[in-house]
Amino acid sequence: MTLETTTWFGSAVDASGPSLSSQYALVASKTIDPEASRPEIVTGIVDVLMDVIEPTVGQTTLSLYEYVNPDALEEIIEASASKKSDIEVRFTIEDYLVTVRSDYTILIYKPIGTQRDTGKTPCPTS
């Protein structure tokens, strides 16, 4: 089985597993219908994030304004899509790397190798 990973500046497919603590593993994705009257990029990001992130006690919503300007993000993606130019915007939300592409794809990556950051080796499970 292959593990799709990425870093801030690219992506790779690694069959042997993570090797760098700065890598992220793909944990969720969503493609928004670009034919909708107005593609809901922000709603799509929040929906997929709430499925992945374990909210803190009592948290029922996620405000993107704390992490990125949602209006500017939508304008960038929509302008790029209309010009048929490929771009992606990356930002982090609670340690997750969020990638939004001009083809209306949202990718959520979880950091991997956190045990290596602390110098601890993961314990094998039986």
Give the pLDDT of the chain (126 residues) as one tens digit per residue: 556 766 655 554 444 443 444 789 999 999 988 877 666 888 888 888 888 887 666 666 677 888 889 889 989 998 888 888 889 999 998 889 999 999 999 999 998 875 433 344 444 444
**What 3-state class would DSSP assign to 48?**
helix
Tokens coding 80: 């790029």
pLDDT at residue number 30: 93
pLDDT at residue number 119: 42
